[in-house]
Amino acid sequence: MLIAIDDDIFQASGMSEAEFTLEIIIMLFQKKKISIGKAAHLARMHLLQFQHELASRKIPVHYDVADFETDLENLREMGRL
């Protein structure tokens, strides 16, 4: 699925497209809508890099067994496991 966002939104927010996208991904992670692995993947960051981004924002990493299982399944689907 592709989501189109008008340039006016970026201008109003004062963020680039990449910054805006990262904010959305982090918000979804904070609301526990996506796992940390999925968030890092969507942000096109290594997991450790994404964790550093969260730490710089003082956002706690909530990672439990369910998140681990979700990450394993995502890796299987991507053919990385």
At residue 63, the pLDDT reads 72
At residue 24, the pLDDT reads 95
pTM over 0.85: no
For residue 75, what pLDDT band results from cuts at 50, 70 and 90? confident
| Other Cβ atoms closer than 10 A to 49 | 11
At residue 14, the pLDDT reads 92
- For the segment 1-43, what is each residue's pLDDT rounded down to a tens digit? 788 888 888 889 999 989 999 999 999 999 999 988 899 999 9
